[in-house]
Amino acid sequence: MNRLEGVYLTLDEFEAVRLAWLEELKQVDAAKLMNISRPTFSRILTSAQRKIADGLVNIKAIRIEGGCCKVGGRNNK
């Protein structure tokens, strides 16, 4: 993975994808949760979608960065 070229999602992009795709929220509701306008949410989500598509189509690592917090999962200890 370290040798792959990568695309970088910001934490805002990651959260927008989570809310829109995983939680299946409407953009207006997701924007409220993120304390941003609906058009801003749409721009963030579109940016994330392009980056994810680039990563999948061109076989690039998809990395998440840009904040002071850590993103943990169920398997992290």
38-64 mean pLDDT: 97
Which residues 6+ apart lie within 8 Å of 24 measured at CB? none
Neighbours of 55 (CB within 10 A): 19
Which residues 6+ apart lie within 8 Å of 75 measured at CB? none
Q: What CATH code is assigned to 6-65? A: 1.10.10
9-31 mean pLDDT: 97
Neighbours of 31 (CB within 10 A): 21
- Output the 3-class SS for 7-54: EEEEHHHHHHHHHHHHCCCCHHHHHHHHCCCHHHHHHHHHHHHHHHHH
Q: Which residue has the higher pLDDT, 1 or 60?
A: 60
Q: Is the pLDDT of residue 3 over 50?
A: yes
